[in-house]
Structure 1
């Protein structure tokens, strides 16, 4: 074997080894965190019956959803997702902190829900109605041809 062949083999082996490490690093699980839950030490500052809604928002910041304020409940939520390579993220932990207020905007109850509780808490629903019922894009396009006025099309103004 020539010196060039030996050098080429070493280079291929090194490139293969680097590729294996890069693939292994790319497929290792990664954790992603979203949201915020106040720590237990800070939550201890909230007194049931005396702390107001404004004080809670001042301590922990704005809630997850503005709609929650209308129901006299503030929600703070956090989630942990595990991402493994090209697969979809999997939620491994979720915590929802619900702070209920009475009619006088004083704390009535503090509840904590986790992923294991299985309770569905709807924080916000954002759905925009399009006002179009069972009409496809092509039907809309073809339906507009009969409404074109030749004067408007050619730029003639009466």
Structure 2
């Protein structure tokens, strides 16, 4: 059997397919979370002129409203990239802070990015709870005999009684 010189071999096609598959597997997955306020829409908000309704119409509802001061709105968003099995990396983070005066007019508007943020270390401690931890074998042995009866090992109020059977 002779093979045409112009047609690629099966192994070459397989290698090319695997290479293409490997290339797409390593492409980062981009995820946007929260409200990444569009800079063009932010430019439309004018301190001293724009009202709460205008801001809500342009940016939507805020991600958070100030806990102690309801006249401060926060729009929080971030963009991450994740490649294969690695941890996601924050590519862009933006917090827009909109402050209103008592009449509901924008008094201050500022945009913060990741460089103005503060890293917080997570605490690895666990909160102790009452009771005792059961090991795997204790859990396994504790279940022996619970599934053999008609009630499924359940006793007490609300447990099935087996009842009468109608033939």
TM, length-normalised to structure 2: 0.59
Please say which of residues 74-83 and 11-20 is displaced more in the overlay: 11-20
Higher helix proportion (structure 1 or 2): 1
Query: Secondary structure of 1:109's match?
Result: strand
User: Counterpart in 2 of 1:57?
Assistant: 56
Deviation at 1:104, TM superposition (A): 2.5
Distance 1:40 1:18 in 2: 41
| Corresponding pairs, count | 131
Task: Flag the 1:73–1:22 CA change in 2: closer, same or farther, 3 A.
Answer: same
Distance 1:99 1:118 in 2: 17
Distance 2:63 2:118 in 1: 17
Note if contact 1:113-1:119 (Cα within 8 Å) is conserved in structure 2. Answer: no
User: Counterpart in 2 of 1:91?
Assistant: 90
Distance 2:94 2:16 in 1: 42
Distance 1:55 1:16 in 2: 57
Deviation at 1:154, TM superposition (A): 5.2
**1:70-85 to 2 correspondences below 5 Å:** 71-85=70-84
User: Which string of whole-angstrom CA distances, capped at 9 and with x for unpartnered residues, describes residues 31-73 of structure 1?
Assistant: 33333333333223322233222221122211113x4486321
Query: Secondary structure of 1:85's match?
Result: coil
Q: Any gaps of 5 or more consecutive residues in structure 1?
A: 5-9, 121-132
User: Counterpart in 2 of 1:32?
Assistant: 31
Distance 2:58 2:77 in 1: 17
Distance 1:152 1:85 in 2: 49
Q: Any gaps of 5 or more consecutive residues in structure 2?
A: 4-8, 120-128, 135-141, 143-154, 163-167
Query: Secondary structure of 1:96's match?
Result: strand
User: Counterpart in 2 of 1:127?
Assistant: none
Moved over 4 A (4+): 135-138, 151-155
Please say which of residues 11-20 and 31-40 is displaced more in the overlay: 31-40
Query: Secondary structure of 1:110's match?
Result: strand
TM, length-normalised to structure 1: 0.62
Please say which of residues 109-118 and 68-77 is displaced more in the overlay: 68-77
